[in-house]
Structure 1
Amino acid sequence: MENEKKPCKHSLTVKTSHVLPPDTNAHGTLFGGKLMAYIDDVSAIAASRHARKTVVTASTDSVDFLTPVHEGDTICLEAFVTYTHKTSMEVFVKAVTENLLTGERNICATAFLTMVAIDENSKPAPVPQVYPETEEEQWLHQGAEKRADYRKGRKKDSKDMAEKFGTDLPWFRA
């Protein structure tokens, strides 16, 4: 499987949901955590589609909420694998909100997630390589190694912080 190559479009996953009252906050807009759950879900589907294996989320880059998603709108997420390493895959997700009455559409968020394929023993498993075809896919693919290096540094910082604060409760001292 390591020598197998698949185009980015092979993993394309699209998911659309109607934003209902239980999904919204006191302002009548979609909970940020709900949007993040949608992003994680569609990313996992795209990564599994590419690897044809079970996957787990290794990291989520920052998610910036660009425009609000209102109750009654739809939220459409598109995800595909942009880059692969040995067992990991970078997945790009674009979220678009649409007002069904006016037809107005806006990108409400974009994100990159790193997903890792696992085998039946829950150990990292090799994934096929991915190759870009469109101009947009090539642009995302070309920046992937730089983003991966940034993630490695961020993970180290997170580990350092976890070690500094430890597991004792409360972590703050008066």
Structure 2
Amino acid sequence: MIETARSPKESQTTITELMIPSYANFGGKIHGGILLSLMDKVAYACATKHSGMYCVTVSVDTVDFLQPVEVGDLVSLMASVNYVGNSSMIIGIKVIAENVKQREVKHTNTSYFTMVAKGEDDRPVKVPPLKLETGEDIRRFAEAIKRKELTSTYQTKMNREKSHFQLEKDLELLKGHRCEIDL
């Protein structure tokens, strides 16, 4: 079977939802968990459109909460496939909130979800390659590669340090920070 590459624009997905009072905390701001749930939903829709398969979330690479979302805002979550591996896809998500009364639009969140396509046997399956058609497509793909490399380097370093734990060294690191040690 010949794999046909698909462009990011073929699977770009936008979900828009009205922020209602039941989504808010006591301060009238929308709970971060509501926004995370919506981001997961749009990431799933985008990944499924690209792969044509059932997809699962395997990781979320930072969620930046840039500005609060208010009750009454129309929130649009825009998702695009930025990178594909064998069975994985990195979905870039941008969230904007619109106060329609005041005609104000603000960028509130950015995040990257890694999704994996699954077959009928619940095992990962190969996804179509990504057809890069614009400079923006190339930039996003390259940034995803760099982000993956940084994450891998970070995880390797943290695992190495965890396996070589030295109490004295860590106690020295804690000096000047807001903690009390009670051994």
TM range (shorter): 0.7 to 0.9
What CA distance in whole angstroms lies between the structure 2 residues aligned with 1:44 and 1:151? 22
Alignment of 1:71 with 2:71, yes or no, is: yes
Change in Cα spacing, 1:28 to 1:162, as seen in structure 2 (3 Å) is farther
The two structures have a TM-score, normalised by structure 1, of 0.86
Worse overlay, 104-113 or 144-153: 144-153
Contiguous gaps of at least 5 residues in structure 2? 164-182
Indicate the percent of aligned positions where both proteins have the same amino acid.
32
CA distance in 2 between partners of 1:154 and 1:124 (Å): 25
Amino acid at match of 1:113: F
**RMSD, matched Cα:** 2.2
The DSSP-based 3-state class of the residue aligned with 1:63 is strand
The letter for the 1-side match of 2:132 is P
- Measured in 2, the distance between the counterparts of 1:134 and 1:29 equals 37
Q: Distance in 2 between matches of 1:99 and 1:74?
A: 7
| Residue in 1 that maps onto 2:99 | 99
Under a length normalisation based on structure 2, what TM-score does the superposition of the two structures give?
0.82
Cα–Cα, structure 1 residues 161 and 44, in superposed 2: closer, same or farther, change >3 Å?
A: farther
SS at match of 1:152: helix
Tell me the SS of whatever aligns to 2:65.
coil
1:27-75: CA deviation from partner (whole Å, max 9, x where unpaired)? 1111001111111110011000000000011110111111111001111
Q: Give SS of 1:128's match.
A: coil
Aligned length: 165
Partner Cα distance (1:24, 1:146) in 2 = 36
- Secondary structure in 2 aligned to 1:39? helix
Structure 1 residue aligned with 2:80: 80
Is 1:20 the counterpart of 2:20 in the alignment?
yes
Q: Which residue matches 2:149? A: 149
Query: Please, which runs of 5 or more residues in structure 1 have no aligned partner?
Result: 164-173
